Amino acid sequence: MEKTTNGVLIHVRVKPRAPSFRIVVHDELVVFCRRPPVDGKANRELITGLSKILGSKVQIVSGFHSSKKRILIKGLGEDEIEDMLIAAGNQK
């Protein structure tokens, strides 16, 4: 995670075409999306899902056509984001 003047940047690896939307937090943050990486569908699901989990505005900063993305989260601190992502990753 990296704090900026605009918010907090996080690095995410996206795995499209998964059976369900879920988050796994280990050495890196992995988000499994149900939608395919076609016409931005997986990206939209990623943004919508993370926005719901974090309750904050989320946007892709780089990696629009890659599985590795940088995401900007506005309005939350690093500790809050980490706690929410870990809690979401622990849910079954």
Global pTM value: 0.90
pLDDT in tens, the chain (92 residues): 899 999 999 999 999 999 999 999 888 899 999 999 999 999 999 999 999 999 999 999 999 999 999 999 999 999 999 999 988 887 75
Alpha carbons 82 and 9: distance in angstroms, whole number: 12
Alpha carbons 53 and 88: distance in angstroms, whole number: 7
Structural domains of the chain, ranges and CATH numbers in brackets? 2-90 (3.30.1200.10)
